[in-house]
């Protein structure tokens, strides 16, 4: 295959190193994510999952290595961080909606104020998404009128309204009551059917098995093992992966 035929991954993390003081949190981490691929990050608490997602979204600066989006080095100081964040959506465990703003304003704030998009266009697109996820009637409501599951779905819509190339989801069901987890997982499954490229940190092994194309096990700031969910979760190669799974399943 010559160079021109090479498929460029949507996300390519190469030898990424991230330290906080003397602690090395990402220790030469390498991970590629292809177009339309869904990669589940699993690993013990403290293994670096959130830090990786934050580094990819440029909320934290890496010490060494490269992160490429569609082949472009986004950790280059000359990269436009606002543009990168428009292309990479990140949703956290706690939904972080602004309590004093309506659902619609929560969704359109960044597109209008940060990315300078026309208000009418941003609002129309927000309404389209809210309709798709069955929350159109909540557009004028304040977050405290919504269930946790609805709030988290709004937070995901907020990340989608910029039509990102890549969606990062960090334990998005961990703060929810068990009966509200399903509606959020269904939304993620629908996004996968739509072809959205996603990286999701999760403790929901059953969901990782169902929705992920690939599972990557993080250990001490590296990808220790990765592969199809059935293999990594069902028949892991590494002893540390087996120990982790034995503890949580
Ligand atoms: P995970 O999401 O896999 O639980 P994290 O990425 O949150 O792991 O954390 C990895 C390690 O980095 C932990 O030891 C954590 O204490 C440390 N860490 C994360 N953020 C910071 C920070 N802002 N300052 C110092 N240490 C941090
Ligand atoms: Mg985390």
Tens of pLDDT along 89-147? 999 998 789 999 999 999 999 889 888 889 999 999 999 999 999 999 999 999 999 99
**65-75 pLDDT per residue, tens:** 999 999 999 99
Which amino acid residue places its CA nearest to atom 7 of ligand 1?
A: 50
- Helix 103-113 to helix 119-132 angle, to the nearest 10 degrees? 140
Average pLDDT over residues 191-203: 96
Percent of the chain with pLDDT over 90: 85
Cα of 4 vs centre of ligand 1, distance in Å, is 39
- Confidence band, pLDDT 50/70/90 cuts, at residue 4: low
The preferred substitution site among 48, 92, 219 for testing ligand 1, maximizing ligand atoms within 8 Å of CB, is: 48
- Confidence band, pLDDT 50/70/90 cuts, at residue 248: confident
Which amino acid residue places its CA nearest to atom 13 of ligand 1?
A: 46
Percent of the chain with pLDDT over 70: 98
Stated as kind and residue range, the H or E segment containing 159 is: helix 148-160
CA proximity to 42, closest of 174, 209, 218, 192: 218
The upper half-sphere exposure of residue 204, i.e. CA atoms within 13 Å in the direction of its Cβ, equals 21
Q: Nearest bound ligand to CA 51?
A: 1
pLDDT computed for residue 104 by the predictor: 98
Quote the CA–CA distance of 76 and 48 in Å, as a whole number. Answer: 22
Mean pLDDT rounded to a whole number for the chain:
94
Q: Nearest bound ligand to CA 92?
A: 2
pLDDT computed for residue 95 by the predictor: 75
pLDDT computed for residue 3 by the predictor: 59
Residue 16, both tokens: 């990424």
pLDDT computed for residue 103 by the predictor: 98
**26-56 pLDDT per residue, tens:** 999 999 999 999 999 999 999 999 999 999 9
Question: At CA 132, angle to CA 96 and CA 168, rounded to 5?
Answer: 40
Which amino acid residue places its CA nearest to atom 5 of ligand 1?
A: 48
Quote the CA–CA distance of 16 and 179 in Å, as a whole number. Answer: 37
Query: For the whole prediction, is pTM greater than 0.90?
Result: yes
Quote the CA–CA distance of 56 and 35 in Å, as a whole number. Answer: 16
Which amino acid residue places its CA nearest to atom 11 of ligand 1?
A: 46
- The label of the residue with tokens 């972080």 reads 96
DSSP string, 116-157: ---HHHHHHHHHHHHHHTT-GGGTTS-GGGS-HHHHHHHHHH
Cα of 55 vs centre of ligand 1, distance in Å, is 12
16 with 54: CB under 8 angstroms? no
Average pLDDT over residues 1-29: 90
Q: Is the dihedral of CA 126, 112, 143, 51 positive or negative?
A: positive
pLDDT computed for residue 1 by the predictor: 52
The two beta strands, 64-69 and 11-20, are antiparallel
């Amino acid at each position: 295959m010559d160079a021109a035929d090479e498929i460029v991954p949507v996300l390519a993390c190469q030898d990424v190193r991230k330290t906080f003081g003397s602690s090395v949190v990402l220790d030469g981490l390498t991970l590629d994510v292809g177009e339309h691929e869904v990669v589940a990050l699993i690993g013990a608490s403290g293994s670096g999952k959130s830090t990786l997602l934050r580094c990819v979204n440029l909320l934290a600066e890496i010490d060494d290595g490269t992160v490429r989006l569609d082949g472009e080095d986004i950790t280059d100081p000359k990269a436009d961080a606002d543009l990168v964040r428009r292309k990479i959506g990140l949703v956290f465990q706690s939904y972080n909606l602004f309590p004093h703003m309506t659902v619609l304003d929560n969704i359109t704030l960044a597109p209008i104020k940060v990315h300078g998009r026309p208000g009418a266009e941003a609002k129309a697109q927000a309404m389209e998404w809210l309709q798709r996820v069955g929350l159109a009637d909540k557009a004028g409501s304040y977050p405290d009128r919504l269930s946790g599951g609805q709030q988290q779905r709004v937070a995901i819509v907020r990340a989608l309204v910029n039509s990102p190339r890549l969606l990062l989801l960090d334990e998005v069901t961990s703060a929810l009551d068990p009966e509200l987890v399903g509606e959020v997982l269904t939304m993620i499954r629908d996004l996968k059917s739509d072809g959205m490229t996603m990286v999701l940190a999760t403790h929901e092994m059953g969901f990782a098995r169902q929705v992920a194309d690939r599972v990557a096990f993080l250990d001490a700031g590296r990808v220790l093992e990765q592969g199809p969910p059935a293999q990594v979760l069902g028949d892991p190669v590494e002893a540390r992966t087996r120990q982790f799974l034995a503890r949580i399943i």
